[in-house]
Structure 1
Amino acid sequence: MTGTTLTDSLGRGGRVRLPAALRQTATMAWRSLVSVKHNPLELVDYSITPIMFVFLFTYVFGGQMAGSPEEYLQYALAGIIVQNTLFMSMYTAMSLNTDLTKGVFDRLRSLPIARSAPLFGRIVADLAKQLWAMLLMIALGVVLGFEITGGAAGFVGATLLLLTFAAAVSWTAVLIGMMAADVEKVQVFAFTFIFPLTFTSSAFAEVDTMPGWLQAWVEVNPVTQLSDAFRGLLLGTPAGAPIFWSLVWAAGITAVFMPLAMRAYRSDER
């Protein structure tokens, strides 16, 4: 970076101007996406694992849950995608924790770029990977017989809602990645909290089939709200309340965890 370019990128007090910060964030996001080719296992996680989830829930549980795999797919695909979104958010935590341990962020912070660019770049890249996995699962679902009866508007709305919620959850992932001692601790969190959260929801079974004492939690579970909203948008069924509460949950998660994550990121000395 030349002196002129560096001067143009900085505002008063040596702070990076917003346009430059956005460009730097995009560069960091691209760096994260390109790195996938050097780590084939990550590509498997983002591609093969979602496909396995769709086949598993459709053909192993479908007949028992709804009478036929095709009928169950119409209900469960939304829940499968939501569950996969939550699990993929933990990759943000794991990759961030790995970069911190290896000193990658320390090296990036020494560059004349916005301090937040590496972090926001990571989040943007992971949202792009989330989008890829979602599109892959929906495409497979269509091949297997899933019908998007909500039309193009419903599809776009469902996509935007899912990415909005994923962006909110990413701040939780950032905080976990910053606070965890190692990647193994991040994985323990994923299995300890995400599995119960998804399976005590309407992601894979209707709420009225569950015991009354459990329904009280299931009905307010954010996974229930997001699954019902995503399903309703794709199928064109009424989903106003779930959409509203999904956005409320996303806003609440962001309001709580974004400041905590940014504070942990800025105070990190590793």
Structure 2
Amino acid sequence: MSTNMNPSPNLDIAPLRIGPGKAARHGLSLAWRGIVKIRKSPAQLIDVILTPIVFLLMFVYLFGGAIGGGDVDGYLRTITPGIMVMTIFQASIVVGVALNADASTGVFDRFRSMPIARSAPLVGAVLADVVRYVVCLTVLLVVATVMGYRIGTNPLAALAAVALLIAFGLSFCWMSVYVGMLVRTPGSVQGLMTVLVIPLTFASNVFVPSGTMPGWLRAWSDINPVSLLADTLRGLLNGGEVAGPLLGSLAWMAAVIAVFFPLAMRAYRRRAA
């Protein structure tokens, strides 16, 4: 009696299948990895925390009297929601930088050798970004409060403003993910995304009213996503119109997701394959 030790040619070995529940747990585990990295290396938050604070201090105390017509407190109320938008926009760059660093340093190769969902590194990086947004906004609001800023509406409106800011960051972060999966180094991601963020921010009504701009620039500022979200936050935090700029903000967010989410996912699959 003999035993055939060779596998049957008809034997099919099923590939690893990971259900949605396990994939979600893998994503949360890697999100915790990102949070631990932030906790152990808080220096990576310095630029996205200090830059908005420097802009807030500089514009309020150096230019606030001139821009606000001598009403520095009124200018603080106007610029603080705008700086909050700038903070989230700037923070949304980091996810692309982090993913590019993982791909460039061989971490993706390690992930491929592990029995985890292929989407887990991406999901984890995006979820960790939410923590980064909350930390940045909290620090900025504390500084603005010390300077004299006060929310003029109610806690529900303030929570809605924070939720909208996080949704804005999660929408625009797909641009950063796409760039991060295309270029070779983390520094290139930072540089390319900064080239996008700075013009969008300064060609908006964050720092000066759009009515003071030349006609062509005012036309762009009025439909700029940063301007629209800044106006929405001013309505939610200070009181005023919300519906019009909110619809414009949501339209921009939906358009960015519709364009860059599939592009980012395709580029991510190619890089992580």
Q: Distance in 2 between matches of 1:139 and 1:130?
A: 14
Q: How many residues align?
A: 259
Matched to 1:15, the amino acid is R
Deviates more, 1:185-194 or 1:196-205: 185-194
Q: 1:61 aligns with which of 60, 63, 82?
A: 63
Matched to 1:42, the amino acid is Q
Shift of 1:71: 1.8
RMSD: 1.7
Q: Structure 1 residue 51 and structure 2 residue 61: aligned?
A: no
Shift of 1:106: 2.0
Q: Distance in 1 between matches of 2:77 and 2:110?
A: 48
The correspondence of residues 179-218 of structure 1 with structure 2, limited to 5 A, is: 179-218=182-221
Q: Structure 1 residue 264 and structure 2 residue 267: aligned?
A: yes
Q: Report what 2:11 is aligned to.
A: none
Q: Distance in 1 between matches of 2:109 and 2:244?
A: 44
The correspondence of residues 156-195 of structure 1 with structure 2, limited to 5 A, is: 156-195=159-198
Q: Structure 1 unaligned runs (5+)?
A: 1-11
Q: Structure 2 unaligned runs (5+)?
A: 1-13
Q: Distance in 1 between matches of 2:45 and 2:168?
A: 22
Q: Report what 2:19 is aligned to.
A: 17
Deviates more, 1:129-138 or 1:61-70: 61-70
3-state SS in 2 of match to 1:268:
helix
Q: Distance in 2 between matches of 1:116 and 1:208?
A: 45
* 8 Å contact from structure 1 (residues 226, 246) kept in 2: yes
1:17-69 residue CA offsets vs partner (Å, 9 max, x unmatched): 12222111111111001012332421423443343332222212212211243
Shift of 1:189: 1.3
1:167-224 residue CA offsets vs partner (Å, 9 max, x unmatched): 0111111001111121232232133221111111111111111111211111111111
Q: Report what 1:71 is aligned to.
A: 74
CA gap of 1:191–1:44, structure 2 versus 1, over 3 A, is closer
Q: Distance in 2 between matches of 1:36 and 1:98?
A: 15
Q: Report what 1:4 is aligned to.
A: none
State the identity as a percent: 39
The correspondence of residues 1-270 of structure 1 with structure 2, limited to 5 A, is: 14-66=16-68, 67-268=70-271
| Larger relative helix fraction | 1
Larger radius of gyration: 2
* 8 Å contact from structure 2 (residues 104, 184) kept in 1: no
TM-score normalised by L of structure 1: 0.90
